[in-house]
Structure formats: structure tokens, C-alpha cells
Structure 1
Amino acid sequence: MTLYHIHLVMARNKEFPEGNVHRGYDIHAPLDADGHLDEAAWEKAPAACTVVRFWDGARSELGYLVHDAKAGWVFDYDPADEDDDETGYRLSSHVFKTGEYISVRDHDAGELHTFVISSVTPAG
């Protein structure tokens, strides 16, 4: 299984007209040949699929990329606490390549934020 390092940064919005490179996610995940999240590869090594949430100098949150049958792909920071999960909008159908946009609902305020994929590189 090849893992990719996917770096997301906050896209332009009302609060940040130029975007914000200090808010985002670093994800290690398997991608298929078309750039979609690869569920079959994830099932072989879910513990290798990690997420780091960085947010304006606050302490980074470490978690896992999890596939849930009901919720789809989720960023899970504490397996014992479902309230901290962050869901992405239609992550199963997104292509993960530089320049594409991804929306994630944060667990703090429940707001949907848009991020731009600033890089996708083989992890390792």
C-alpha cells in the first residue's frame, strides 16, 4: 500500500480573503489510481492513515482517517468520543490532487470550512 501525504490549507473565505495557511490538515491516506481515497487499501492498515489538524498556533490535534459505514470518511481524534469527529463533504467521491477543494465540518463549532489541497506527495 502506498500512502500519500495530503496537505490541506484553508481556502479564501469572508474571514480570510487570502485563505489561511495556518489552518488545515496533514493527512496520510492511500489513494487509488484516480486519486480517490482507497477504502480497500485503508482496510489493510487503518492505523497508518493519520490526520493532523493544525489551527492558528493552537496545539495540533492528532487523529485517524476512519471509514464509517454511515458517515463515510471521518477524521477521528478520540475513538471513545464521537463528538470530536470531523466529517468531510462527499470525501468518497473527491479527487485528491493539488488545487482541488475539500470541505470539512469542524468539531468545535460544527461549521463547514473549505480547504484547498496544496500538495499530494508519496509519504515516506
Structure 2
Amino acid sequence: MKPDSKHYTVRLELARQLEYPQGDTEHGYELVVPLTRNGRLDVSSWEAHPRTCHVRRFRRGEADVVGHLERERQGRWHFKYKNQQLDEGPSFRFENEQFSLGQYISVRASDGNIYEFAISAVHPAKSQGGDATSPSA
């Protein structure tokens, strides 16, 4: 039987906002997360294998920061970075988000502000193989 989800690489790029009227393609996150066939985070798969869910923060002029996706008992999601004390993460109902091109994800940055990021790419993670299709909406 084919599993209901597999890991995808999801690229988030800073969307247009007051401080960045054109957005910024060199400021964002790459996530490797399990998605269901309808493009939502597969929480059951994450619970079974949380360390397979990676995050890479990239910003112009800064070294990349890597880590993984964590969830607190209260249900709040955040990015846990290796050797960093940054507190960042999705701000609202991350497991209910639709991970498809053009959708937006709100992320609470380490400065406490919430920024909008546009999903610019969704494709099977390299370690998962598969074709170049993304989960359908």
C-alpha cells in the first residue's frame, strides 16, 4: 500500500510587505516536511519521524541557519536551529496550511514580528525520490 504522504521540499520567500515592497527572493525558508495528498502537513508522519523535517533559513548577506521543525505540547510549531537560540516559526495553525504554489504562510521571526512568505516551490524531497509533481489541492 502506498503511504498517504511523503516528504516535500517547500520554498518560502519573503512576500511583498511595507518594509519590502518587492518582497525578497533571497530571504526565506526551505522546509522538508511530510505532506498529505491534499498538500497539508501530515502531523502523524511528523510525530512518527520528527527529525526528518528540516528547515533552512536563508537571508541575503547572512550564513544559512539549519535545524528542524518542532511542536510544543500546546500545539505551537517552531523552528529549532542547531547551535542557535533563535525562536522562529509558523505563527498560526501550521498543520491547516495548504502547501501549494502561491499560497502564503505567516512566520513569527526571532525579532517577534510576523512576516508573510509566499510559497514559491513545492517538489518531492531528494531523499524521497518520486516525480516532480506536487500534492494536489
Q: Does 1:43 align with 2:47?
A: yes
For residues 39 and 54 of structure 1, the distance between their equivalents in structure 2, rounded to whole angstroms, comes to 25
The residue that corresponds to 2:130 in the other structure is none
Q: How does 1:33-112 map to 2 (within 5 A)?
A: 33-78=37-82, 83-90=85-92, 91-107=94-110, 109-112=111-114
- 1:111, 1:87 → 2: CA distance? 11
Q: Which residue of 1 aligns with 2:134?
A: none
User: Is the contact between residue 46 and residue 66 of structure 1 (CA under 8 Å) also seen in structure 2?
Assistant: yes
Which letter maps to 2:26? H
Identity of aligned residues (%): 36
Q: Output the CA distance in 1 between the equivalents of 2:68 and 2:32.
A: 9
* Structure 2: distance between partners of 1:69 and 1:51: 20
Number of aligned residue pairs: 121
- TM normalised by structure 2 equals 0.81
TM-score (normalised: structure 1): 0.89
- After TM superposition, give the deviation of residue 66 of structure 1 in Å: 1.2
1:89 Cα offset (Å):
2.2
Secondary structure class of the residue paired with 1:47: helix
Structure showing greater Rg: 2
Give 1:57 shift. Answer: 2.2
**Aligned amino acid, residue 93 of structure 1:** N
1:119 corresponds in structure 2 to 121
Query: What are the ranges of 5 or more consecutive residues in structure 2 without an aligned counterpart?
Result: 127-137
Runs of 4+ in 1 over 6 A off after TM superposition: none
Tell me which amino acid in the other structure corresponds to 2:113: E
1, 6, 15: which is aligned to 1:2? 6
